[in-house]
Structure 1
Amino acid sequence: MTGSSATATGPTRTLQRLIAALADLRLAIGLLVVIAIASGIGTAIPQQENAELYHRIYDNQPWLGLLNGDGVLGLQLDHVYSSNWFLALLAWLGLALLLCSWRRQWPALMAALRWIDYRSPRQLSKLSVAETVSLAQPQQGLDRLADLLAQQGWQLQRHPDRLAARKGVLGRIGPLLVHAGMVVLMVGAAWGSLGGHRQEQFLAPGRELELLDSRGHSQLTLALDTFAIERDPAGRPEQFRSQLRLLNPGDAATGELSVKKAEISVNHPLRYRGITLYQADWALAAITVQLGRSPLLQLPLQSFPQLGEQIWGLVLPTRPDGSEPVLLSLSSEEGPVQVFGPDGQSLAQLVPGGPAQEVKGLPVRVDSVLPASGILLKRDPGVPLVYTGFAIALAGGAASLIATRQLWAIAESSEPEGSSEISNRLGSEHPGRLHVAGLCNRNLTAFSQELPALLVQLDLDTSSGAQQA
């Protein structure tokens, strides 16, 4: 029996030590610091891009001089917030907060809700703040103290010769709400990372994008009416604005198509039916040219990263058989359009809307350049939980500012036992004492000054009552 009991006790003690280690507040703070550092890394490194981008950026210049493209991809730094190790940190922190609440905050709340009955003045003298006043009628002073405390919003528990009072118990709920809010917030963040959807699409004016649900049904049609790029005097882009039409086919059964018009720009996204639309980027979609006497031809543009970060162009043949091609390149919808030959020699410079110029014996004119709006569509099912958790944590932080105060008072009469009738008959009074003491979980200095002021008011009111009697 002894051996089995010892065997059962060993794992239990190990589990208790493990729980105590996980519930340590220092561990939770350390995890918060690590998560903050990881979030900073996710901000510094572009997220959820193609693997080629990370090789192009970090192979020649490793990040912090340590990680090249393979290192960034191997450590999942290209998708920090949905990486296995980041989600594991969130789960670890959530478990630590739950255990801390269970082992520390919940018992503290239960202790605050439980009435403690001190019966002797000696017990009160050991508390943080303790005062004793002499009163001719301590029982009357106890009654007056109960009235004053009730007027100030204290909860009371009365006994014939003593009382207990408390105020600000709501403050004990604050830490629990903060922990609960953080756990809800982290669950929402994890849910959004695992169940969310992110898509970046370039859309030219006059074109539409149909969004489908998981079953292939049309969920929303996104149409771009206009797209404008605002530039500074030096020609650098400052702001992008997209005028959108959102067509909801959910009302098609009634024969009506719901249409919502909206504008998005940088730092001003649009949230609609669980989808958030961000103005993320811009590009050049097409160029309209005229070759000789041909009709206007709208030709698609493609990016040339080997020529620069924001260089678009197309290869255009100058002969009917497709021979003698030239390269048209540009970096802005305003132009100019550079024309290069196969040997890289500049042949012409065209201005959108300007006159035609001869390129290898063929008049070429650029009528216009069509820019495209880069729209980022994000569906994050965890957003409601994130906002809810943030609100709970804020409410808990506000509640934590409320000081929890507890007060006890004992009326001690110095009259000999059985002498009250004789005292009343002779009109004499035996002085007694009123013992008052209290506890406060924060701002104890203010409470230690408030208690004597309360007793002075009590003494004045009691003296005034005695004189009137």
Structure 2
Amino acid sequence: PPPPKALNSGTEEPAPSSGLLDLSEPSAQRRVQLPAAARPSTPTPRYVWRVALRALSNLRLAIAELAVIAGLSACGTLVDQGQSPAYYVEHYPLGQVWLPWPIILPLQLDHIYSAPYFLGLLGLLGASLTACTTTTQWPQARVAQRWRFKPGVEALRALPAVTEMEGHSVRSVGQLLRDRGYQVFVEGARQAGAAGGAPTASGPPSSEPRALYAFKGLAGKLGPIGVHASMLAVLAGVSLGAVGRWEGVVMMPEGAASPVRELLHPASPFAWEAAAHAADLKFDAFQIDYRDDGSIRQFVTSITVLEEGVPVARQTVSVNQPLRYKGLTAYQTDWALAAVRVSALPLSDAALGPQTGTALSRTPPDEAGVSEGQGKPVPNTPRQPVQLSLPMAQLAGESPESKLFGTFLPLSTLGLPAEDGALGSNPRGISLLARDLQTVVLYDGKGAFVGVRRPGSNLPITVEGVELRIGAITPSSGMQLKIDPGVPLVYAGFLGLCITVVVSYLSHSQLWGVATEDGSVLLGGRTNRALQAFADEVVALGGKQEEEDPEVAAGEQDRSSSWY
């Protein structure tokens, strides 16, 4: 016996369901709303979860989160990141800039991208995107994949775009739609025993198909889901980089080598070491490329990557061509002059030994550097020049064209007396200045200009009774090193975002057709974008004359429903 019918509170008994959703109803209307009496007096975890999802999926909340994140990111672009507190006190004084250091430091704008509240905002935006995807976008996409035929003429006339195609059959209309890129389903007559009005998949038809359903642009419904997924990938990459990043800024002289591990520091306690931490970097050579007018065009560094002392990679790094090796990225950011080699030969008798009357010479210089020329005086009958490597310091300038480096050669280093005749007091000496690797300018103890020499020219010049020959200048290369595990996710997310944003603009159009009693076909539909263009397309279809496809006509004999 059939099961007892459930009471329906005085309403009519619902029609048997075919298992397919009615696409004419908006998804918002299909949500089940609990009456006030059915809501739990004590909120259950399930109820709280649904309320939270509804709140997080609010569009205005997501836009506000995105605006705040964009504003904080703009502050991070305008404010130098990762500097010492003294740097901000000096460069962002109170009352002289729009964002002074008393605001920068408490709000952590000096490291905004790793600040806890910034990461919290990223997490909140990710939660909003996830909630919107799961509660709105994904259900709409699933509904768009389903199909059912409209029950009659009145349901079609309620659609936004309607036209009547006289002299057409349902199957010929389906052929026209297929030629326009639609996927078409036609419904044949029901066989005996077919239930629920669903189209049958086999068996001979008893009449011409009476209804059709067609759609195109389903990717336009999936596009917003892809946009959300791409944004989540970007947020995940930024967050991963904030907690797992390693970075460092170094100034290495030419020919120096150092382990990568000693050049980097972690951005947080949660950062983990990468494969590149086991490598060493050797700065082989530094070179400056000049223009015809003498200005700097480019500066490059030749770097060798070593693993256990064995070279595994070599690359010339410039400003726009960083070194990439196993997650490590080395950017060329700066340069400096580390030292200058000079050959000094005293010409006066003041440099002679007090007892022997022989010129003072020096022990062989130490190749490591700073203490060169500081050996004990030893008698040496022929006069020998003293080989010195003088460290240079940056005196002025931040841009490559305004940099100025200098060093000082005390005469006491050469055994010459000071101004008052006492060794080691009131130091007097020679000043050497250089702006690049091309020229060195020399000044005497009173600051008077003496001359200019090209490094490595080996041409002598006499200053303060000392014959000097300028050797090579040792440059230093400024590198910014970074290991960021979130970069691949960020790149993939932005690539996906570029693609899915375009896909999202594809219109998802749906059409339904029903054969009328007078032999025509009533066609109606709706779309989510370009409403006027879609309406014009439907009206244009109404003016088409029937063009029967021979293949379709031949196939009518053995199909009661078909999917083009």
TM-score, with length taken from structure 2: 0.68
SS at match of 1:457: coil
SS at match of 1:74: coil
Alpha-carbon offset, residue 454 of structure 1: 2.7
* Structure 1 alignment gaps of length 5 or more: 414-430
Q: Which residue of 1 aligns with 2:24?
A: none
SS at match of 1:147: helix
SS at match of 1:356: strand
Q: Distance in 2 between matches of 1:277 and 1:458?
A: 68
Contact residue 315 and residue 325 of structure 1 kept, 8 A: no
Q: Distance in 2 between matches of 1:350 and 1:199?
A: 37
2:461 maps to 1:402: no
385-394 vs 17-26, which deviates more? Answer: 17-26
Q: Distance in 2 between matches of 1:234 and 1:437?
A: 73
Alpha-carbon offset, residue 130 of structure 1: 0.7
Alignment of 1:221-300 (within 5 A): 221-232=280-291, 235-249=294-308, 257-292=310-345, 293-300=384-391
Q: Distance in 2 between matches of 1:196 and 1:215?
A: 10
2:208 maps to 1:170: no
191-200 vs 5-14, which deviates more? Answer: 5-14
SS at match of 2:260: strand
Residue-pair matches, total: 431
Given candidates 240, 244, 262, the residue that maps to 1:191 is 240
Given candidates 157, 179, 182, the residue that maps to 1:154 is 182
SS at match of 2:520: strand
Contact residue 328 and residue 340 of structure 1 kept, 8 A: no
Q: Distance in 2 between matches of 1:176 and 1:338?
A: 68
Name the CA shift for 1:258/1:223 in 2 (closer, same or farther; >3 Å).
Answer: closer
2:29 maps to 1:29: no
* Structure 2 alignment gaps of length 5 or more: 1-35, 189-209, 263-272, 346-383, 416-422, 554-564
Q: Distance in 1 between matches of 2:282 and 2:316?
A: 12
Q: Distance in 2 between matches of 1:42 and 1:322?
A: 51
Q: Which segments of structure 1 move beyond 6 Å, counting only runs of 4 or more?
A: 2-5, 10-15, 215-218, 305-309
SS at match of 1:459: coil
SS at match of 1:432: coil
Q: Distance in 2 between matches of 1:216 and 1:97?
A: 34
Q: Which residue of 2 aligns with 1:67?
A: 100
Alpha-carbon offset, residue 6 of structure 1: 5.3
Percent identity, please. 31
Alpha-carbon offset, residue 104 of structure 1: 2.0
Name the CA shift for 1:216/1:6 in 2 (closer, same or farther; >3 Å).
Answer: closer
Alignment of 1:49-64 (within 5 A): 49-59=83-93, 62-64=96-98
Q: Distance in 2 between matches of 1:194 and 1:48?
A: 14
Alpha-carbon offset, residue 277 of structure 1: 1.4
Alpha-carbon offset, residue 438 of structure 1: 0.7
Q: Distance in 1 between matches of 2:255 and 2:537?
A: 72
Contact residue 124 and residue 435 of structure 1 kept, 8 A: yes
Alignment of 1:445-464 (within 5 A): 445-459=532-546, 461=548
Q: Deviations over 1:100-154 (max 9, x none)?
A: 222321222122112143111000001011112343xx6xx01212233334443
Q: Which residue of 2 aligns with 1:418?
A: none
Q: Distance in 1 between matches of 2:214 and 2:180?
A: 11
Q: Distance in 1 between matches of 2:294 and 2:489?
A: 43
9-18 vs 390-399, which deviates more? Answer: 9-18
Alpha-carbon offset, residue 348 of structure 1: 4.9
Q: Distance in 2 between matches of 1:440 and 1:3?
A: 38
Given candidates 317, 334, 342, the residue that maps to 2:410 is 317
Given candidates 120, 125, 145, the residue that maps to 2:173 is 145
SS at match of 1:71: helix
